[in-house]
Amino acid sequence: MAGTFVGGIGIELFGVLWNTALHTHVAPEMLSRVSAYDVVGSIALAPVGEALAGPLVARVGTAPALELAAAAIVIPTLLVLLVPEVRNLRSS
């Protein structure tokens, strides 16, 4: 329960910071398009991952599948942080 609570705080904090960055750094006439791409990448592709999870667990087992899933989240996140424009994003 404590982990879920901390995770929920993290998700909400991310949401506020993400939306603030979008509205601060994206031109108003492009905000709808950028938000649509965000939803496709964040939400619309989730069923693909869910559909692949079962066969992956069946093939490699639960622990390796969870490790692969964690790596699929952590590695791209760290790679994005290597981009100086992302790492040094400041409010205008």
Question: One digit per residue, pLDDT tens: the chain, 92 residues?
Answer: 999 999 999 999 999 999 998 999 999 999 999 999 988 888 888 899 899 999 999 999 999 999 999 999 899 999 999 999 888 888 76
Asked whether residue 61 is domain-assigned, the answer is yes
Asked whether residue 92 is domain-assigned, the answer is no
Domains in the chain: how many in total? Answer: 1
Q: How far apart are CA 19 and CA 25, in angstroms?
A: 10
Asked whether residue 38 is domain-assigned, the answer is yes
Domain interval for residue 62: 2-87
Asked whether residue 53 is domain-assigned, the answer is yes
**DSSP assignment string, 16-76:** HHHHHHHHHHS-GGGHHHHHHHHHIIIIITHHHHHHHHHHHHHHH-HHHHHHHHHHHHHHH
| pLDDT attached to residue 92 | 65
Check: CB of residue 24 under 8 Å from CB of residue 92.
yes
Asked whether residue 77 is domain-assigned, the answer is yes
Residue corresponding to tokens 């705080």: 9
pTM, two decimals, is: 0.66
